[in-house]
Amino acid sequence: MSNIITNGRDHLESALNDTLDQGDKVFVPYVMAGDGGLDQLIPRLKFLSESGATAIELGIPFSDPVADGPTIQEAGIRALEEDVTLKSVIDLLKQERHQINVPIIFMTYINPIFKYGIDYFVQDAKEAGVDGLIIPDLPYEQQSLISDQLAKANIALIQLVSLTSSTERIQQLAQASQGFTYAITVNGITGARSQFAIELKEHFEQLKNASNVPVLAGFGISTPEHVKQMSNIADGVIVGSKIINLLQQKDLNSIKRLIESTKLK
């Protein structure tokens, strides 16, 4: 077993800041753990890391993924059919995390964490080198269920902010977010989109003013043009459904082009 010790939240925040300091924008690809079989996970993480991803968001398959669109839901179903669980992903990372140089962020729901046991989950996540956590169905008001344990383990708890959030809510979430603030660019679930709301620029200005950490745009981003468009108003992007589709198609060059579109020319 690897004895890797990562710096968790500090690792994540320094990786994002280093990227921004050199004039690039942040690129965080999303992959579903176990899509295509768990044996594919480490090679995919290595490929994304070596292709220039700043950090990687790693989805945990779940039977009721309320925030996910069809592409990510289908990837989750494929992983569940391979009997992939939160524990099997953590156990694999405990063995192989040393191969991945960039921060890893888990995206999971609160039910699998409850089932695992909150204290056990946080301890195991730390040992597996998890740097951040996104829990889309855990309301801000209930985050004390896990926030103290995460703070002790130095794992960032990342907040999602929607377009429909009130000014007060935006301030609350942006100031609480650790690692980065996850700004949702569309109303609804994840999935590729052809255009974005015109009022996004003002929304991102408000978010960046309120946030102590970088603000990343996510949901619906699927082309290099989208990446460049969002990079003009945000500190970087998170791309999920398109990455999953391209991995399915084995189109690795298109993934590299997406990542390269955030780099200083």
pLDDT at 187: 64
C-alpha 60: how far from chain center: 11
pLDDT at 65: 76
Dihedral-angle region of residue 34 (phi above 0 means left; psi in -120 to 50 means alpha; beta otherwise): left
DSSP state letter for 195:
-
> Measured between alpha carbons, how far is residue 85 from residues 93, 131, 169, 238 in Å?
13, 19, 33, 23
pLDDT at 196: 55
Does the pLDDT value for residue 122 go beyond 50? yes
Entry pTM: 0.92
Tokens of 177: 């977010």
Find out whether 2 and 97 touch, Cβ atoms under 8 Å.
Answer: yes
Amino acid letter, residue 60: I
Mean pLDDT, range 220-231, rounded to an integer: 91
What are the pLDDT digits (tens) for 139-170? 999 999 999 999 999 999 999 999 888 999 99
User: pLDDT confidence of 3, banded at 50, 70, 90?
Assistant: very low
Give the side-chain half-sphere CA count within 13 A for 231. 23
Find out whether 26 and 20 touch, Cβ atoms under 8 Å.
Answer: yes
Could you give the 3-state DSSP secondary structure of residue 77? helix
Percent of the chain exceeding pLDDT 70 equals 92
C-alpha 70: how far from chain center: 18
Find out whether 185 and 238 touch, Cβ atoms under 8 Å.
Answer: no
- Lowest mean pLDDT segment, chosen from 80-89, 142-151, 256-265: 256-265
Does the active-site annotation cover 21?
no
> 91 or 201, which is more confident?
91
The residue annotated as part of the active site, out of 13, 24, 35, 68, is 68
Closest CA to 104 of 147, 55, 68: 55
The residue annotated as part of the active site, out of 13, 35, 57, 235, is 57
Does the active-site annotation cover 68?
yes
**Taking all residues of the chain, what is their mean pLDDT, rounded to a whole number?**
91
Find out whether 236 and 227 touch, Cβ atoms under 8 Å.
Answer: no
Distance (Å, whole) CA 73 – CA 230: 24
Distance (Å, whole) CA 241 – CA 222: 8
Other C-beta atoms closer than 10 Å to the C-beta of 250 total: 7
Return the axis-axis angle of helices 86-96 and 118-127, rounded to nearest 10°.
30
According to CATH, the topology of domain 9-260 is TIM Barrel (3.20.20)
Find out whether 183 and 197 touch, Cβ atoms under 8 Å.
Answer: no
